[in-house]
Structure 1
Amino acid sequence: MAAKAQILSKCRIRHSSQSTYFDAVALTLNQSDVLWTYSTASGWTEIAAGLQSIDVDRTGTLYTLNQSDVLWTYSKTSGWSEIAAGIQSIAVDKTGTLYALNQSDALWTYTLGVGWSFVRSSVQSIKVDVTGSLYALVNGAWIKLS
């Protein structure tokens, strides 16, 4: 048990109690890049491997970015759906909006069922701070976007 607790203490956990897309109390992406869900009914279940990041938007939709830079979404009814390729990183801000930075340094938002909206170009990196605000690195300076 101590080993399992030690492994989990180093994981990124996203709580997902409002999700209509999967039955999980928590999601975790461990150090081996394996995505696990936890539910009180069934315990821990592996649902994907080879991921570099995960996030959940305001609707409870799970998004994953794999090691091949492909963005996916997961639904408990239909499984995995590919959204886009060539994505560097993803982040969800305090409003629950999903941002995706592509390999051409263009920043976009994505809404399931609606599609993509362009935000800005020349973005080198994106990060969300502890307050949930999204920042973009543009020309060597961090600027607040949300």
Structure 2
Amino acid sequence: MGFDIVNSASNDQFPVGKYWWVTLADYSRYIAPSVTAACRYWYTNNGDGLNADQAHKLGAELQRSVDDGRIDDYARQLFGVLCKERSVPDFVQFDQSDFPPRELPKHEHERRFVNELVSEVQRFIEFLFACDGFEIL
């Protein structure tokens, strides 16, 4: 099952894969539980979502977490859990610009994961500030 995150007014989409959507939803719920509680079904595509005011508030909370470094702490902790579960995504372990893909040294895995998570959160923040609310379809 995939997810389409759609601007409620314009039908513009926030392009995101299933892995990153679940991770963004988890992080959003962790950082802003009172705001995200308005959406009951973050992990299904039944049309639930946030209105414009809630989306903008979530964007502001997420931006604060980037500014104060909480996102880095969260990402490092999540990376540790993924390592223990042996479920670190391939993009972290391999340099896809080489063919065949070259395995990266272990010390680069965590930094790559943290950078990717921060990047995805920043993309989501931009979407939240620009949207008129969103639906998860």
TM category (shorter chain) comes to under 0.3
Query: TM-score, normalization: structure 2?
Result: 0.25
Larger relative helix fraction? 2
Higher relative contact order, structure no. (Cα contacts within 8 Å, ≥ 6 residues apart) = 2
Larger relative strand fraction? 1
